[in-house]
Structure 1
Amino acid sequence: MKDYPFRQDKEDLEELLRQYNDRKAGRSYSFLDEESFEKIINYFDEAEDLVQAQEACDMAVEQFPYSANLLLRKADILIATRKYTEALSILDLAELLDSNDINLYILRTDAYLALDKQPKAVELLENALQLFEGEERIELLFELADVYDDYEEFDKIFDCLKLILEQEPANEEALYKICFWTDFTGRNEESIRLHQQILDDLPYSELAWFNLAAAYQGLKLYEKAIDAYKFAITIDEKFDYAYRNMGDAYIRLRKFRDAIEVLERVLELSRPEDVIFEAIGHCYDRLKNFAQARFYYRKAVHLNPDDSKLYYKIACTYINEEQWNQAVKQLETAMHIQKSVPEFNLAMGECKIRLGETRDAIVYFSNVVRARPKGSNGWEALIRCLYLGEFYDEALEQAEAALRHTEGKPLFLYYKSAILFALGKSKEALLYLERALQKAPKLLKEFVALRPSILQNQLVVDVIARNRKVGKA
């Protein structure tokens, strides 16, 4: 039988269950010891037959009323069956017999949380921390961190994890968790100091290097973050999250070629993800390699076909290459998914202008204005479109509306001046031009770009010259 230990265990358990069922049915009164009862209770618990598990607990406690272990087991089953108050009473009895069992405090915590008594759970665990050391204290700290999570005391979760790592620097669960809570609470400086101390003792801990890097990244110290990530991947060359975060840090530093290299490594190490393809596409976009950018955006679309912004990004690569019809097709797909996104309408309007479809462009720019009446981009595009289409009366009306909604932004003073010149109202136009020059002289180029021939008007040249002299004075 030594060659078949599992079979022996199964036969032993079957015999125990037979004796237990005979005794329960009154057919026999054979003796079952504490360990046997624990095996029977565990069997029913693992089979999720909590009714039978509770019956076994009751019989066990009746036979061994002074067994702290069986009382704790009974409390555990009572908590699983949502009999929290009864469980707390049983735990009081167990404490009289053995107050040094860590499960006493963990089960009480579970009951208090279920009864929505978080302050009692916190108080219990904080007091219990003074009674335990080593692994048991660490277990209680994890339990306390979970209570603080439930109670939304997020800074205290960080504190618990920090205490664990000060006691056990190599604790992987704490290292994984503290990275998230550092980012969530913004306690990056503390995390940096903590992980530097850990690395003094454990210089080959890739998780500690990763957490140090993430904390630097949280403070926007991207060069230091990259250096720390490099240590992490030197220790574990398949650490895909380190490559992923390093890619983000390189993007922040506008080192797009380096970002592409490490993000390609992520694709080698893990399953393809749309966000990684999109990030690589973004890098090629910024390098003005629009064909390659499209290639990766399309890979992202293949994995996430309902993400409208990916189609928009593909459209933008076509816009940068002045392939207006191709851009329109992508924008139509994007707007089929999300019709009213201002950026999509703005891009579509620009394409329509370039294709000579001015009336369609006006509709799209009007959509932007309705969605964001306080933003200047929509108004600027709409007024420019109306002006170029020679709808001067409508352009003037929209320029006045833009001034109202944007609290008098100087750009629209320039636009109103240009429109008044086009309507032959030169005196009024010069007044608005002068006001615009006094408020924002650097925006004069926007006025000239709208109608370059305006500089042939001597009155305009005189107003510009006069205001330049005033500015220098």
Structure 2
Amino acid sequence: MALDSNENTDKSISKFESMLKTDDVYFFDAEDFEDIIHYYLNNGKIALGKKAIQIGLEQHPNSLELKLLRVEVLVFEDKFEKAENLLDELQDIDSRNDEIYIQRANISSKKDNHQEAVNFLLEALEISDDNFDIHSLLGMEYLFMDDFESAKRSFMRCVEFDNADYSSLYNVVYCFEFLEDYQGAIHYLNDYLESNPYCEVAWHQLGKMYQAKGMYQEALTSFDFAIISDDSFIGAYFEKGKVLENMGKYNEAIENYETTISIDDPTSHAYLRIGRCHEKLGNDDLAKYYFYNTVHEDPLLDKGWLAITDFHSRLKNFEKALYYINKAINIDGENPLYWKKAAKIYFQLGNFDEADFAYKQTVDLGNYELKTWMNWAETLKNMGDFNSSIQVLVQGIEFYPEESQLYYKLAGLYLKNKEFEKSKTKIKEAIDINPDNLHLFESEFPELCEIKWLKSLLTGVKKAST
């Protein structure tokens, strides 16, 4: 009875490793060396792979395939010049070997020259038999170049070669998603399912596309078919739960999330979704239980800590909310969402100094949202520090030069700081941007609206708008 390829490879590896231990010299066919080298490289045993290449080339000095494997290792080690020199030699011997162009493409890609990599791969495609691997590599290069249309076509070719190539199928859908062509993805997946009706992956992806378009009933049907195809497919239950949540069917959503926990180890994301469903149902004790389980399962999941914090904030338990957001900050002090949440809680507690510090951390860590600038300026205003509040708003305007609310607030602060000319300039700029938001100024600074010049200006704006 003939040995299958795996048994042959195992036998060759055992023989090769025995040779290394005993210093005996055994002869192997070039094909055996290729199998041995591939085994070591695929398992991350680079040193043994290099040793096999060295001995292989000693026994078969003219083997093109072994030399190409040497090139592969050189590229892996970023020794591009040596690799390219060897490829030049090999191309003189066999100019129609597609692997030479593939390796050149690999070098270009690692040098971030993706267009050149594409050109080499297209050359390889011309001299090969429509190679599956080349289409896959092309797809990845196009993704690096943000050419999602070309990437989509390449991955579609991969799926045509092998309809069980789910990695390429995912990439096709990813390209449709990035292009926001959800209808195109739906059409493609439905076509795919015509010939692969029991593919749970395709049903799952189809459900997500329907979900993105707000077609919840169609999404549920797709996830149900995914579950029929594979009743242990956790992703389908989870996504179905999300759809049911969006439809307000929280108890049914909980059932699906609980199913994911029963099939496999519980995840923080499942606990979090269950907690939110219970919160919507008014089951505060159960919501709290699942939120606490969320952070216990994954202490680094920011959404978990924020859910606990929001839960206590909603119940006006600001001291507890502060305790949990500070726990989150102790775990990950580089998360701007934590600092922003802390700042809001400190503000509610009237601790403006701490709120000011938290907002500064929020901005320093890269959160430049409009609300952040507005709330920080309000904090400083409550402290009576008009100069600092003005500086915050000036910074905010750099990010949002067309947001009138920043100008209205800044005009009021300049006026309170007795910088009258600057106040006049800013109130006029605010009115020019959006006169309909004048009420923001009037509601925040009613005491200033009685100043003669300002009262006259406001009256004129109101007359003009009627």
TM-score bucket (shorter structure): 0.5 to 0.7
Q: Which amino acid aligns with 2:208?
A: A
In 2 relative to 1, CA 209–310 (structure 1 residues): closer, same or farther, beyond 3 Å?
closer
* 2:280 aligned with 1:286: yes
Structure 2 match to 1:215: 209
CA distance in 2 between counterparts of 1:51 and 1:331 reads 52
Structure 2 spans left out of the alignment, 5+ residues: 364-369, 385-408, 416-422, 432-436
CA distance in 1 between counterparts of 2:9 and 2:146 reads 48
Report the Cα offset of residue 8 of structure 1.
Answer: 10
CA distance in 2 between counterparts of 1:195 and 1:249 reads 19
In 2 relative to 1, CA 435–248 (structure 1 residues): closer, same or farther, beyond 3 Å?
farther
In 2 relative to 1, CA 379–261 (structure 1 residues): closer, same or farther, beyond 3 Å?
farther
CA distance in 1 between counterparts of 2:148 and 2:295 reads 36
CA distance in 2 between counterparts of 1:160 and 1:320 reads 50
Structure 1 match to 2:117: 121
Which residues of 2 match residues 212-361 of structure 1 at below 5 A? 212-306=206-300, 310-323=304-317, 325-334=319-328, 338=333, 341-350=339-348, 352=349, 360-361=350-351
CA distance in 1 between counterparts of 2:372 and 2:284 reads 32
**2:198 counterpart SS class:** coil
**1:129 counterpart SS class:** helix
Structure 2 match to 1:411: 440
**2:29 counterpart SS class:** helix
Deviations 1:28-85 (A, max 9, x none): xxxx6xx6244246546736345544443444454xx4xxxx2122122133134312
CA distance in 2 between counterparts of 1:365 and 1:218 reads 38
Which residues of 2 match residues 100-111 of structure 1 at below 5 A? 103-111=99-107
**2:345 counterpart SS class:** helix
Structure 1 match to 2:413: 401
Report the Cα offset of residue 221 of structure 1.
Answer: 3.6
Report the Cα offset of residue 257 of structure 1.
Answer: 3.1
Instruction: State the TM-score, normalizing by the size of structure 2.
Output: 0.67
User: Out of 70, 88, 92, which is 1:77 matched to?
Assistant: 70
In 2 relative to 1, CA 304–54 (structure 1 residues): closer, same or farther, beyond 3 Å?
closer
Structure 1 match to 2:399: none
CA distance in 2 between counterparts of 1:250 and 1:61 reads 63
CA RMSD, aligned part only? 4.7
- What percentage of residue pairs aligned between the two structures are identical? 20
Q: Which amino acid aligns with 1:281?
A: G
Asked if the contact 2:295/2:305 (under 8 Å) is kept, the reply is: yes
Structure 1 spans left out of the alignment, 5+ residues: 25-31, 353-359, 387-396, 421-425, 440-466
Report the Cα offset of residue 302 of structure 1.
Answer: 1.0
Report the Cα offset of residue 210 of structure 1.
Answer: 1.4
Q: Which amino acid aligns with 1:228?
A: S
**2:64 counterpart SS class:** helix
Asked if the contact 1:315/1:330 (under 8 Å) is kept, the reply is: yes
CA distance in 1 between counterparts of 2:329 and 2:18 reads 68
Q: Which amino acid aligns with 2:339?
A: V
Q: Which amino acid aligns with 2:94?
A: E
**2:131 counterpart SS class:** helix
CA distance in 2 between counterparts of 1:12 and 1:377 reads 69
Report the Cα offset of residue 201 of structure 1.
Answer: 1.8
Report the Cα offset of residue 240 of structure 1.
Answer: 0.9
CA distance in 2 between counterparts of 1:236 and 1:381 reads 54
In 2 relative to 1, CA 91–256 (structure 1 residues): closer, same or farther, beyond 3 Å?
farther
CA distance in 1 between counterparts of 2:358 and 2:298 reads 26
CA distance in 2 between counterparts of 1:342 and 1:224 reads 38
Relative to structure 2, which stretch is displaced further, 172-181 or 335-344?
335-344
Please say which structure displays the higher CA radius of gyration: 1
CA distance in 1 between counterparts of 2:354 and 2:411 reads 17
Asked if the contact 1:195/1:208 (under 8 Å) is kept, the reply is: yes
